[in-house]
Amino acid sequence: MNAEVVLFYAFAVLALLSAGMVIASRSPINSALSLVATFFFLAGTYVLLLAHTIAVLQVLVYAGAIMVLFLFVIMLLNLTETEGERAKVTFGRVAGALAAVSLFALLALVVMGVKGAPTAMATAELARFGTLAALGQTLYTEWLLPFEAVSLLLLVAIVGAVVVAKARI
């Protein structure tokens, strides 16, 4: 067992533990902080997969931006620890559970479909894999349309943010 495998298991176990804490902890703020920790350990796993850029963007966007919004909402809406009321079975919840299960099944199928270890790469190829330059090269040539579509998605998000708060600003 080499160092990379040890590190992988360390990150994986820690990520699972902190993800469990997100659900288990009573206080919403502790949940949010556990989620930040989860993102961090996931970033570590990404580095082990040579997806360095994704790792740093994970920290930058998820831990540094999205979770800040979560924390904002929790702190400023004054969400406190509440005894969760007994969950009622509603149509929405059943549908959500089904969707979650089928997503998981789909992911499992995809992962199991991967045959054997990934093909070995030459050192020169490895050095370029996952770098910011390589990512940009792919994104801005092959995936042009999805990239431009993201701008529309972001525009919708901006409009949504304003509309939601409109009465108060």
Partner 1 sequence: MSRTVFILVSIFLVIPALLAGVMMGAYALGGWLDGVWFPGAHRLTNILVLMLVFVMVLASLLTLAERKWSALMQNRIGPNRADLFGRPVPAGIGHFIADALKMLTKEDFRPAKANTFLYNLGPLLAFAPVFALFAVVPAGPTLEVFGKTVDMVVATPDFGLLFIFAIASLAVYGTSLAGWSSNNKFALLGGVRAASQMISYEVALGLSLVGLMMAFSTVQLPAFVGEALGTGQFRYLWGNDAAMGLRPGFDVGLPAWGIFLQPVAFVLFFAAAFAETKRAPFDMPEGESEIIGYFVEYSGMKFGMFMLSEFMEIVILSGVMVVLFFGGYHLPIGEEWLRGTELMRSYPLLLGAVLGMVFWLKVLTLCYLQLVVRWTFPRFRYDQVQKLGWKMLLPVGLVNVFVTGALVLWDPSLRLLALSGLLVIAVVLALTMAAPGEAPAEAHGEGHGHAHGDTTALPPSHAHATGHAQVHALNAHTAVPQKLETPERTPVAASH
Partner 2 sequence: MEPSPLAPYLPLAVALLLAGVLAVAVMLLASVLGPRRPSAVKSLAFEAGNEPVGSARQRFAVKFYVVALLFIVFDVEAVFLYPWAVNFQQLGWFGYAEMAVFAATLVVGLIYVWKKGALEWEH
Contact with partner 1 (CB under 8 A): which of 5, 24, 49, 65? 65
Minimum gap (Å) between residue 120 Cβ and partner 1 = 21
Select from partner 2, partner 1, none the partner in contact with residue 66, using the beta carbon and a kind-dependent cut-off of 5 to 8 Å.
partner 2
Number of residues that bind partner 2 (CB under 8 A): 50
Cβ atoms of 58 and 42 within 8 Å: the answer is yes
Cβ atoms of 97 and 21 within 8 Å: the answer is no
Minimum gap (Å) between residue 96 Cβ and partner 2 = 24
- Rounded to 5°, the CA angle 91-95-99 comes to 170
Contact with partner 2 (CB under 8 A): which of 127, 142, 143, 146? 127
71, with CB counted inside 10 A (0-12, 13-18, 19+), is middle
Q: At a CB cut-off of 8 Å and minimum separation 6, what does 80 contact?
A: 27, 28
Lookup: tokens for 111: 């992962």
Q: How far is the C-alpha of 66 from the C-alpha of 62, rounded, in Å? A: 5
Q: How far is the C-alpha of 50 from the C-alpha of 54, rounded, in Å? A: 9
Select from partner 2, partner 1, none the partner in contact with residue 36, using the beta carbon and a kind-dependent cut-off of 5 to 8 Å.
partner 1
Residue number with CB closer to partner 2 (66 or 99): 66
- Closest C-alpha to 39, from 23, 4, 73, 15: 15
Contact residues: partner 1, CB under 8 A: 29-30, 33, 36, 52-53, 56-57, 59-60, 63-65, 68, 71-72, 75-76, 130-132
Binding stretches for partner 2 (CB under 8 A): 4, 47-48, 50, 52-53, 57, 60-61, 64-66, 68-69, 72-73, 76-78, 80, 123, 126-127, 129, 132-133, 135-137, 139-141, 144, 147-148, 150-152, 154-155, 157-162, 165-166, 168-169
